[in-house]
Amino acid sequence: MAVVAMEKISVCALKTNRKAILETLQGLGVMQVVTDELDDPELLKMDTAEAKARFDKNADLADQAVAILDKYVPLKKGMLDSFAGKETVEPAEFERIIDEQTDLMKIATKIQRREKDISECKGNILRDENQIESLVPWMSLDVPMSFAGTKKTDAFIGTVSGILDDAMLYAALKEKAPDVESLSANVISSGNDTTNIFVMCLKEDREAVETALRGIGYAKPAQAVLGIPSQVADDCRADISRQEAEIAKLEEEIKKRAGVREDLKIVADYYRTRAEKYRILGTIPQSRSVFFLEGWVPADAAPKIRSLLQEKYGAIVDTETKREEEEAPTLLRNNKFSANYEPVLASYGLPKHGKVDPTAIMSAFYMFFFGMMLSDAGYGLLMVIGTAIVLKKYPNMAENMKKMITMFFWCGISTTFWGFMFGGFFGDVIDVFAKTFLGYTGPTPILKPLWFNPLDQPMRLLIWCMLFGIIHLFFGLGIKGYEYLKDGDMVGFVSDIVAWYAFLIGLILILLPTELFGNIAQMTFTFPPVVNTLAKVLTFGGMIVIVLMSGRANKNWGLRVALGAYDIYGVTSWLSDVLSYSRLLALGLATGVIAQVINTMGSMFGGGPIGLILFIIIFVVGNILNFAINVLGAYVHTNRLQYVEFFGKFYDAGGEPFTPFTTKTNYIDIK
C-alpha cells in the first residue's frame, strides 16, 4: 500500500561510454530518462534522426514480412492462445540471430517483393476479368471491334437506345436515311434497354448513315478492343491462368521461407530496441568529451545503479531525493494479492507522491463486492477453474493481463463463498434436476444456504448491503483522515473527519430504533437511554463542529457559518451513496432469478431421455449467457462503487505513470 519513493539520478560520463551506459540502463529498465532540465545552449545534442529512422524502417520491414508469412502460412492457434504472451528467448540464441540480421533482412525484402508481385498479378487478373465481362455482349461479333470497313465500305460498331431486332434496326435507319440503298444492319445482342449493333454501308453513304444512327442514340463502345471479342476473351482467360500459376509459384516461394518467421520477429524487436535507444541518445546533451543524463529511479534501486555506473564506466553519479515542487512519476508497490488490482486503480488514475495508494484496501472490498453481486457457487467455481487453467498454461502472458486474470481468480473465490452462503449453485439446478430426473420428493432446498436465501429475505440482504456500504465509505473517510494526520493538519482531521464520523454515527443510532427502520428491516432495535443520549450528543456535537469549522478558511463568521450549514446538507450525498450499495442486492438477485428461470425452462420437457437432452442444451446455453452478462455487470458495478462512492470520499488522482527506458518488444522477451 505504497507509492514507491523516487530519487533523481544525474550521470556525467565520457562520450566513449555513452552507448554502453545507455544499453546497460535499457537492459535494467529502472530509469525514466528526463532531459528537459539539462537544456544548455553550450551543450550539443547528437542528430540521431537518420539512424532512428533507419532502425524504424528495418523494424517495419521485418514486421511486414512476419505479417505476410502469417497470411500465407498461418500459425495454428487455440482459443486461449491470446493469453500466451511473448516468447522467451535465450541470450545466446538472440545473439546468434542478430549476427545473421543482414541475411534475414534480405529474406524479409524478398518476401515483401513477392507479396508485391502477387498483388500485381491479382490486379492483372481483375483487369482481365473486367475485360471479359465487357466483351460478353459482343461475343457473336466475328470481326475485330476496331473494324472500320473496307476500301468501299464503312462499318459502325456500337450501341443504340432501346431493345431492337434486325428488322426494327433496319427500318429505323431506312426511315431516317431513305436515300441509302446499300445498307447492312445486324443486332449483336441486346439488354438493359440498349442494343449492340454492327452496321455497314458504302463510303458515299457514310454521312447519311451516321446521322441516322445518331438519331436513334448511337454511341461507340466504352472499351473497344482491337481483336475479335471471342478471341480477346480467350486471350484474357489464358492470361488469367498464367497469372494464377504465377501467384501459386510466388506463394510457394513465400511459404518456403516460413521457417525464418521467429527469427524475423527477433530481428524486428532488435531494431525496435535500437530505435528507442537512438531516440534517447538524440535527447542527451553532450560536450566534446562527456555527456549528461538525468532521470527518475526507485529510491531502493538508486544505490545499485550508482555503484554499477561508477565502477564499470567511471561515471560521476549524483542522486537526490524528490524536491517538494517536483512531480515524480508514480510507481505502485503492493503485496502479491493487492498488486493484481492495480490495473483497476490505474484505469481511474494513479495517486501522486505524498498521497495514499488505496490499492490494498480497495482490493479487499473489490473482491468482497464482486462476489456478492455474482453470488453463485457454480459460476464462482467456473471462474476459479478457468482462470487457474489460463494462469497455469500461459505463465508468460503480459503483466497487466496476468494481473487481471489473477484478479478474476480471487473474485471467483469470493463468488463461490457467497454462493454457498446464499445457497446458489447454478440457481436451483440441484433441486430441479433431482425432482425432474431422479424423482426426488424430499424437502428442499437440498443445498441449504449457510446464511440465508436472498430470494426469500430480500430486505434482510438490503440492510446488510447498506451496512457493508457504510463500512466501505467510512474506510474512505478514514483514509482521508490519515492524510490529514500525515500532513500534520490536526484541525482538519477533527473538523472534517472526526466531526463527520460523530455526526453520521449519531444519525445512524437515532435511526435504528425508529418504527420506519423497523418496518423496512423487519427488525427491532431497542437501545438503553444512555445510548440514545450518546447518539444525540454525537449528532449535535458533530453538526456544531461542521457548521463552525467547515468554512474555517473564511474569516467572515457569517459566511463561515453559512458554508458550514451548506456542508451539513452534504449528508444527503451520503444517503445516496449508501443507497448505491443496493446494487449488491439487485445484481445478486438477478443472477439467481435468471438461473432459476433457465432451470425451470429446461425441466418443462419432462424427465425422459429427450427431456434430459433438452434440459442439458437449455442449461448450458442459458447459463453461458447468464454468466457472461452478470460477470460483466458485476465488473462494471464493482468498479463504479470504487470510483464513485469510495474514491469520492478521499482520492485525488493525477499521478503520471513511471515509464522507464527499457527494451520495448512486440514478440519476445530475452531471458
Look at residues 549, 580, 611 and tell me which one is the last residue of a structural domain: 580
pLDDT at 2 over 70: yes
Q: Is 646 exposed, middle or buried (0-12, 13-18, 19+ CB in 10 A)?
A: buried
Q: Do 346 and 437 fall into the same domain?
A: yes
Domain with 266 in it: 2-94+260-321
Q: How many domains does the chain have?
A: 4
pLDDT of residue 324: 81
CA distance 352 to 368: 27
pLDDT of residue 36: 66
pLDDT of residue 40: 65
Q: Do 150 and 89 fall into the same domain?
A: no
> CB count, 10 Å around CB of 634?
25
SS3 content of the chain, % helix, strand, coil (to 5): 65, 10, 25
Q: Do 451 and 550 fall into the same domain?
A: no
Residue 253 lies in a domain: no
Q: Using alpha carbons, list the distances in angstroms from residue 280 to 34, 453, 523, 663.
A: 10, 61, 67, 12
Crossing angle (nearest 10°) for helices 101-135 and 261-281 = 110
CA distance 376 to 623: 11
pLDDT of residue 156: 94
Mean pLDDT: which of 218-227, 395-404, 547-556, 629-638 is highest? 629-638
DSSP 304-330: HHHHHHHHHH--EEEEEEPPTT--PPB
pLDDT at 520 over 80: no
Query: DSSP character for 426?
Result: T
DSSP 576-627: HHHHHTHHHHHHHHHHHHHHHHHHHHHGGG-SSHHHHHHHHHHHHHHHHHHH
Q: What is the mean pLDDT of residues 44-71?
A: 92
Residue 369 lies in a domain: yes
pLDDT for 224-242, tens place per residue? 678 899 999 999 999 999 9
pLDDT of residue 663: 85
Look at residues 220, 242, 276 and tell me which one is the last residue of a structural domain: 220
Give 369's pLDDT tier (boundaries 50, 70, 90).
very high
Phi, psi of 286 (to 5 degrees): -155, 155
pLDDT for 628-661, tens place per residue? 999 999 999 999 999 999 999 999 888 999 999 9
Q: Is 141 in contact with 156 (CB distance < 8 Å)?
A: no
Residue 279 lies in a domain: yes
pLDDT for 174-213, tens place per residue? 989 998 888 999 999 998 889 999 999 999 999 999 999 9
Q: Do 506 and 576 fall into the same domain?
A: yes
Q: Using alpha carbons, list the distances in angstroms from residue 291 to 8, 21, 40, 282.
A: 17, 11, 12, 11
pLDDT for 495-518, tens place per residue? 999 999 999 999 999 998 888 788
Residue 112 lies in a domain: no
Q: What is the mean pLDDT of residues 470-492?
A: 94
Q: Do 367 and 450 fall into the same domain?
A: yes
- Please give the angle made by the CA atoms of 585, 520 and 423, to the nearest 5 degrees: 35
Residue 275 lies in a domain: yes
Residue 111 lies in a domain: no
> What is the domain-level CATH number for residue 155?
3.30.70.2750
Q: Do 496 and 530 fall into the same domain?
A: yes
> 342 is written with which cell numbers?
492495480
> 144 is written with which cell numbers?
475485330
Phi, psi of 661 (to 5 degrees): -75, 110
Q: What is the mean pLDDT of residues 605-615?
A: 92
Give 37's pLDDT tier (boundaries 50, 70, 90).
low
Q: Do 200 and 287 fall into the same domain?
A: no
pLDDT of residue 39: 62
Q: Do 547 and 644 fall into the same domain?
A: no
CA distance 335 to 176: 97
Give 42's pLDDT tier (boundaries 50, 70, 90).
low
Residue 252 lies in a domain: no
pLDDT of residue 347: 94
pLDDT for 275-287, tens place per residue? 999 988 888 888 8
Q: Using alpha carbons, list the distances in angstroms from residue 655 to 67, 104, 347.
A: 37, 43, 12
pLDDT of residue 71: 93
pLDDT of residue 134: 87
Residue 338 lies in a domain: yes
What region, left, alpha or beta, does residue 427 occupy, with left being phi > 0 and alpha being psi -120 to 50 degrees?
Answer: left
pLDDT of residue 563: 81
Q: Do 567 and 593 fall into the same domain?
A: no
Q: Do 338 and 425 fall into the same domain?
A: yes
pLDDT at 539 over 70: yes
Q: Is 569 exposed, middle or buried (0-12, 13-18, 19+ CB in 10 A)?
A: exposed
Look at residues 220, 249, 272 and tell me which one is the last residue of a structural domain: 220
pLDDT at 1 over 70: no
> 120 is written with which cell numbers?
500485381
Q: Do 551 and 624 fall into the same domain?
A: no
Q: Do 446 and 590 fall into the same domain?
A: yes
